[in-house]
Structure 1
Amino acid sequence: MAAVVLSEAERVYAMHGVQDDLRIDGRGCEDYRHIEIETDVVSNTSGSARMKIGHTDILVGVKAEMGMPKLERPNEGFLEFFVDCSANATPQFEGRGGDDLGTEITNTLYRMFDNSSSLELAALCITPRDHCWVLYVDVLLLECGGNLFDAVSIAVKAALHNTRIPKVSVLEDDEGSKEIELSDDPYDCIRLNVDNVPCIITLSKVGHRHVVDATAQEERCSMASVLVSVTHRGTLTCLRKVGVGSLDPASVFEMMETGKRVGKALHESLRTTLAKEESLGSKRHKVGFLG
């Protein structure tokens, strides 16, 4: 997608629509576009998901590999994130543009999961201080049509929900040496509890109001946005302001409250959708929902 260019008349038209709670595509200020989720789409991964929202298309793969726990957390596994913003998604990612955005999204994901409640990392420990599961989460931006942070967070949660990790048996001989055996049964696996994994809600200030799930055109009308990481209970785990414009403190608090409200509804829709998608069996299906 090429860079979006809006005339002054188009910008005014979009801003007036937001003021009247009627955006260009007919949505209200707190409405998401239609979202499609498909899991188990990459065969050589432990879990994967693809999600589409408007013209934004994200593919996430999770690979579980055995590693050594971190020194500060010897009884836990951990996650590593990598985001690829290739120039195939949009010419804007040529040169350093894609690398800079990929680093920004990666750092935001680390901040999202930098707490003890998002994911039960202790379940990824095999033997304390010696062996654990490391989850390598690879995010590929296939197409960009606005609202990347929200889309990436939803796709990551869906991929983690789909992840299956082989069960491990630790055998110790008479001399005290340990041997690790992996289960060959694909159904004998560990599933991650992703209930507390947060999603990002981006609230973009357009005129005197704010909108969720901004399109590329609306992002051009917004000088500042607030990213809130919200759990299914409406708890904020991360807050970030992006953009060159300034925000009134009262506006920030309003946007936080909107993020909590919208986030709880989004989590419930996502939970229902993932359960429905999994109930369809091993055959891959696309399931859509409205946030």
Structure 2
Amino acid sequence: MSLTLSHAERTYITAGIASKNPQRLDSRRLDQFRNIEIDAPASLQADGSARVRIGSTEILCGVKAEMDPQTPPRVTASDGSTSIAYSPWLPNTPRIKCAVEYSPALVQTHNTHDQGVLTASLTDLLSACFVQNGSHIGPFPASQFIVLPNARYWLLHVDVYIMSWSGGNVLDTLFAAVFAALWRTRLPRTEVLAYEAPAATQDMVDADSDPLGMKFITRGKRTNAPAVSTSAVDFALADEWDDGMLLEGREELPVCVTIFPLAGEQHLLDASYEEEQALSSSVNVIASATGRLYAVRQNGKHSLEPEKLYSAIETGVQYAKQLAEMLKQ
């Protein structure tokens, strides 16, 4: 980063925070957030969007749904005595793709290398919250991304644009913008227009036999009746984008709360850019409004005692619930 605090500035900030009556540069309490400004929707072209400002840090997030044609490969699984061939119910490519970029204007005030490292780190951390895990993609049930089984799927592009990070607390602001955008994202309802009867040679899964216990990842239960139509081949939108369905599972969307452990059991929240440079260690706690913990990341040159780390996680989860409820409004 371009800003480097002098020894006197660093001492002034840390001494004020560590005093008996803690003093911050902007007179906030240690656990007090700055005002969070939310502008949603921020783009009429996106299926969900939000612009979030914390201090002078400003981040824009846009979500765009795309129809993605995919043909999942046939997979054969065996337990030694029995084998079964099936098509996974979702392709092995992500259904939610995240990308983080920064404004070219930041090149004038921030080091280009630092910008690249930061955006790559933020992209990886954000993407990790939306990976497929069993029947869910991040917080979302995966079934809502299927339009035509084994043929058409929804693909969500989550694009984040860092307009300014001069106020610090970039990660909390970024996750707040993503939360606000996805909370308002709608997928259009679809309806099947045509079906194709299965070929006589097509592999069927007996509804009463599941020796491998794998029906949850196959095409589902099928009967051997030749007249049953089981393969949808065409669809249409049942309503307009503005009248679509809100994402199921959005109550579990993650937010981030960055905790700076201090002496004793105190913590500093929503650090300004200067405070981030002055303090040595922080903990990013990524959790949902229901208390689901997605990730914990420690930053800084110094290690933390387990007790301090656990305390920071508990504090982060507590404030994540409050932050998520505020972003829903």
What is the TM-score of this pair, normalised by structure 1? Answer: 0.84
Q: Please tell me whether the aligned partners of residues 49 and 61 of structure 1 are also in contact (alpha carbons under 8 angstroms).
A: yes
Match of 2:84 in 1: none
Alignment-mate amino acid for residue 319 of structure 2: V
Looking at CA atoms only, which structure, 1 or 2, has the larger radius of gyration? Answer: 2
- Identify the residue that residue 27 of structure 2 maps to in structure 1: 26
8 A contact 1:85–1:93 mirrored in 2: no
- Structure with larger RCO (C-alpha < 8 A, sep 6+): 1
Conserved in 2, the CA contact under 8 Å of 1:206 and 1:218? no
Match of 2:63 in 1: 62
Shift of 1:34: 0.4
Name the residue aligned to 2:321.
264
In structure 1, distance between residues paired with 2:149 and 2:291: 33
Identity rate, percent: 31
Tell me the CA shift for residue 263 of structure 1: 1.3
State how 1:1-291 maps to structure 2 within 5 Å: 3-19=2-18, 20-67=21-68, 68=70, 74-75=89-90, 78-89=95-106, 91=108, 93-114=110-131, 115=133, 116=136, 118-144=139-165, 145-173=167-195, 178-183=233-238, 185-193=240-248, 194-205=250-261, 209-271=266-328, 273=329
Q: Distance in 1 between matches of 2:232 and 2:3?
A: 62
Q: 1:15 to 1:178 in 2, by over 3 A?
A: same
C-alpha separation in 2, matches of 1:234 and 1:81: 23
Does structure 1 conserve the Cα–Cα contact (< 8 Å) formed by 2:196 and 2:233? no
CA distance in 1 between partners of 2:183 and 2:50 (Å)? 9
Tell me the distance in 2 between the aligned counterparts of 1:235 and 1:185. Answer: 33
String of CA shifts for 1:231-270, please: whole Å, max 9, x gaps. 1122322111122222222211111111122112212222
1:10-69 Cα distance to aligned partner (Å, 9 max, x none): 222211222233322111121111000011221221111100000100000101001138
- Once the 2 structures are TM-superposed, how far is the Cα of residue 7 of structure 1 from its aligned partner? 2.6
Q: Give secondary structure in 2 for the equivalent of 1:252.
A: helix
Gaps of 5+ in 1: 274-291
The 8 Å contact of residues 87 and 98 in structure 1, kept in 2 or not, is answered as no
Q: CA deviation at 1:221?
A: 0.9
Structure 2: stretches of 5+ with no match in the other structure:
74-86, 198-230
Question: SS of 2:322's equivalent?
Answer: helix
Counterpart of 2:6 in structure 1: which amino acid? Answer: S
Per-residue CA deviations over 1:49-94 (Å, capped at 9, x if unaligned) read 1000001000001010011387796248721000002341354655
Greater displacement, 150-159 / 2-11: 2-11
- Cα distance between partner residues in 2 of 1:70 and 1:230: 32
The answer to whether the Cα contact below 8 Å between 1:21 and 1:29 also exists between their aligned partners in 2 is yes
Q: 1: CA distance between counterparts of 2:324 and 2:180? A: 11
